[in-house]
A and B are shown apart, each in its own frame.
Chain A
Amino acid sequence: MPGTMGGGLAVLDFDGDGLPDLFFANGAELPSLVKSSAKFHNRLLRNRGGGQFEDVTEGSGLKQIGYGMGAAAGDYDGDGKVDLVVLGVGWIHLYRNLGGGKFSLVELPNQGRWAYAAQWVDLDQDGDLDLFVVNYVKWSSAVDRQCVVEGKADYCHPRFYGESANQLFENLGGGLFRDVSVESGIARHAGKGMGVAVVDVDGNGLPDLFVTNDRSLNFLFLNRGKLKFEERAFEWGVAVPADGKSPSAMGTVAFDYDRDGKMDLVYTALREETFPLYRNTGKEFVEAGILTGLAPITRAMAGWGIGAADFNGDGWPDLIAARSDALSVSGGKGAMAREPLGLFWNRGGKRFELGTELKTEARMYRWLAVADINGDGCPDVIVTALNAPAVWIENRCK
């Protein structure tokens, strides 16, 4: 199962030179989950400018052990140096940036859960970054299964694995964290988390958390202050699409596509499920996929990471998605599992159109990050793919 899920990355200016650097969380041998050779090491790439990157993993302390999944960057200790959290199958590793390209490791407790994604955000508004961790299914090598899809061995549907609760760590300052998952109300809700978007949906000034779950109801944790949360996805209309069928909800991003001042939501899913888009009315989310044309465009697509930015400088946030199926190329879908990247132009906050200008090779794309890599003022995209090099999509918008 982990073999189809990896490919997390983070953009961070770890050396403070003003250029965004890149960190890639890599996998490991299966079923041992051990990084048995250098090809499995995580990678830290320093941006030297001019489109050049230097591999500075060696000596950084980030090579790591275990099967890496996701990563998130944030200066949690407020020392001006961007730190890193790396998620994996059975662990959460916190890396404090010591400067000089070196990191020190502290492990956060996660009871052996499959940590998949994370977000640094000051949820209690006390001036430092707390950590929200999205956990995927209950899985171990011992319970791994293989399924048959169209006569070929392939990954199993997530229904074969149990749900897992997410975690919230309060930043106590001084590099210390406290697991407040239970008292915050987060641990009350188990799911199969894949993505998280931070958004103040109700306009109370406190960041809320939208969590996508793979084929189970999504969560919307409304922030009631003092690290107390209420799960209100159903009431807000984002637990499940109107037809009642829980999609394979994957990556998600909050963005104000209609520029009405309220943050909207979109997430990726698999073929026939579309990439559901929700307009925030301030009181609830209303499905906008059919109205904006995003649903018909994405009906035949499968997606993982998704990012939003104004790629063409017209003032409207566009979308880009890392596409491919969850099933393997050697399995039932064959080469059809690979897809090109998906670019969706936002036409005045009313319609989305497929950006045919972006032509990319079909691959098993997984996750992406949007950042101005070359410092030209235009958002670029870094995309990972399974068993393939990461791709830098340079946006020459000027």
Chain B
Amino acid sequence: MQMIWLLIGTLLWAQADAAREALRAGRFEEAARLYGALVKQYPEETMLRYNVGLALYSAKKYAAALAELKLVLKVQPNLPQANLVAGAAMLKLKQACPALPYLLKAESMREAPEYLEQRAEAEAACGNAAGAGEWFEKVTAKQPGNARAWYGLGLARVAAGNEAGAKEAFERLSALPASPELRRLERDVARGLWTAGRYAEALEALARVKTLVGPEAALEYELGDCEEKLHGPEAALPHYREAVKLDAKLISARAALGRALASLQQPKEAIPHLEIAARAGIDKSLWLALANAYRATGRGEDARIALQKAR
């Protein structure tokens, strides 16, 4: 965030300098305290109060920051910096739609990447996919290495039904140099595609994540589920087996493995997995799968009991 510096007279110099130094050094709470003391001495100086708000925002005390900034905006309602930080604080407080009027008042700062990002996030969170897409495009144009912006652009395009555009954005995201944030965002994208039932795209995205993060049970399970939805249980089986190998307690993978084996007419092998999954109580239909497997292996009485549990 662009800092606004004030010349507030010789007497204030040392105190203001200490506050500024604390803010610059990332000691945000100390900066807030020092600026707060100055505000008490010079309450008419709105920019000092703005700096309190900025320091509190930087210290992730968003509600307190917003309260200070609202006081600033009472005196100077169109102050772009205060509107921008107030809007950003509201976004953090999950008040995306109410944040938009503040961000609109800060539009004179539209060339600043910080503004673009906040505006895009707010438009997206307020459900304006087309608007979010436009603003994220601006961010990516200015900052082609901004992973969050490519991620946001991809999601905005998904929401707007622009599948080709979303794919392009996610591909640009994947092409960025590896970083922990990138890995996390890629994982989010892949999981989002999977939960949205876009299995072909999810399969690609999950496979990409796998190359970044290495073996992970949940990832293997999700890969298996995509394969099963697209190509059937045979294609899913290796992933489910791997998921259970990596984490024997992952019940969803255990259930999927049991079901896939049952579908592939391997009831004997399916039974131990289905027994564990059915007893975990995540889905009653697992008892039906188990009953079918018992029946197919000639265990009539067990089948009857499992069927009763399913009903």
Chain A residues proximal to chain B, CB less than 8 Å = 217, 234-235, 237, 239-246, 272, 274, 286-287, 290, 295-296, 299-300
Q: Which of B231, B289, B310 contacts A242 (CB 8 A)?
A: B289
Contact B232 A242 (CB under 8 A): no
CB of B285 within 8 Å of the partner chain: yes
Is B286 an interface residue, CB under 8 A from the partner?
A: yes
Q: A287 and B259: CB pair below 8 A?
A: no
B234 adjacent to chain A (CB < 8 Å): yes
Asked if A243 meets B230 with Cβ closer than 8 Å, knowing A235-B295, A237-B295, A290-B264, the reply is no
Sample 22 A-B pairs with CB under 8 A, ordered by A number. A234-B295, A234-B303, A237-B296, A239-B288, A241-B292, A242-B262, A242-B289, A243-B233, A243-B259, A243-B263, A244-B285, A244-B287, A244-B288, A244-B289, A244-B290, A244-B310, A246-B285, A272-B229, A286-B265, A290-B264, A299-B230, A300-B230
Interface residues on B, range: 20 to 34
Query: Is the C-beta of B291 less than 8 angstroms from some C-beta in chain A?
Result: yes
Contact across chains for A242 and B292 when beta carbons are under 8 A apart: yes
- Please report the C-alpha to C-alpha distance between residue A240 and residue B291 in the assembled complex, in whole angstroms: 10
A286 to B262, CA, bound (A): 12
* C-alpha gap A235/B296 in the complex (Å): 10
Whether the pair B262, A244 counts as a contact (CB closer than 8 A) is yes
Q: Does chain A have a CB within 8 A of B224?
A: no
CB distance from B234 to the nearest CB of A (A): 7
Known contacts A237-B295, A287-B263, A290-B263; A244 and B286 CB within 8 A of each other: yes
Cβ of B240 to closest chain A Cβ, rounded Å: 12
Given contacts A242-B262, A244-B289, 9 further A-B contacts (CB under 8 A): A235-B295, A242-B292, A244-B259, A244-B287, A245-B289, A290-B232, A290-B234, A296-B231, A299-B230
A243 in contact with B262 given A234-B307, A272-B229, A290-B232 (CB within 8 Å): yes
Chain B residue numbers with a CB within 8 Å of A234 are 291, 295, 303, 307
A295-B292 contact given A242-B265, A243-B262, A245-B285, CB 8 Å threshold? no
Q: With CB as the reference atom, state the residue of chain A lying closest to B196.
A: A150
Residues on B with beta carbons closer than 8 Å to the beta carbon of A239: 288
- Cβ of B293 < 8 Å from any Cβ of A? yes
Interface residues of A: mostly helix, strand, loop or mixed? loop
Chain B neighbourhood of A237, CB < 8 A: 292, 295-296
* B288→A240 contact, CB < 8 A: yes
Residue B154, interface by CB 8 Å: no
Please state if B259 and A295 are interface contacts (CB–CB under 8 Å): no
**Could you tell me the distance between the alpha carbons of A228 and B58 in the complex, rounded to whole angstroms?**
78
How far apart are the CA atoms of A299 and B307 in the complex, in Å?
A: 27
Q: Which residue of B lies closest to A272 (CB)?
A: B229
Query: When the two chains form their complex, are residues A296 and B285 in contact, meaning their CB atoms are under 8 A apart?
Result: no
Q: Can you list, as one digit per residue, whether each of B269-310 has a CB less than 8 Å from chain A (1) or not (0)?
A: 000001000000000011111111101100000010001001
Cα(A290)–Cα(B263), bound, Å = 8
Q: How far is the CA of A295 from the CA of B229 in the complex (A)?
A: 11
Q: Answer whether residue B260 sits at the interface, using C-beta atoms and an 8 A cutoff.
A: yes
How near does chain A come to B237, taking the closest CB pair, in angstroms?
Answer: 12
With A234-B307, A287-B263 already in contact, the answer to whether A244 and B292 are too (CB < 8 A) is yes
B277 vs chain A, min Cβ distance (A): 10
Q: Is B53 an interface residue (CB 8 A)?
A: no
Instruction: For B303, list chain A residues within 8 Å (CB).
Output: 234
Inter-chain contacts of B292 with A (CB < 8 A): 237, 240-242, 244
Q: Which residue of A lies closest to B256 (CB)?
A: A243
Q: Which residues of A contact B288 (CB under 8 A)?
A: 217, 239-240, 244-246
Residues in A neighbouring B230, C-beta threshold 8 A: 299-300
Q: Inside 8 A of A274's CB, which chain B residues have their CB?
A: 232
Q: Which of B182-239 contact A (CB under 8 A)?
A: 229-234
A244 CB contacts on chain B under 8 angstroms: 259, 262, 274, 285-292, 310
4 closest cross-chain pairs (CB), A and B: A244-B289, A244-B288, A243-B259, A242-B262
Alpha-carbon separation in the docked complex, A240 to B283 (Å): 15
**B232: which A residues are within 8 A, CB to CB?**
274, 290, 295-296, 299
Residues of A within 8 A of B229 (CB): 272, 299
Query: Once bound together, how far apart are the Cα atoms of A299 and B232, in whole Å?
Result: 8
Contact B289 A243 (CB under 8 A): yes
What is the bound-complex CA distance between A237 and B263, given in angstroms?
12
Q: Cβ of B267 < 8 Å from any Cβ of A?
A: yes
A286 to B289, CA, bound (A): 14
The residue on B at minimum CB distance from A291 is B265
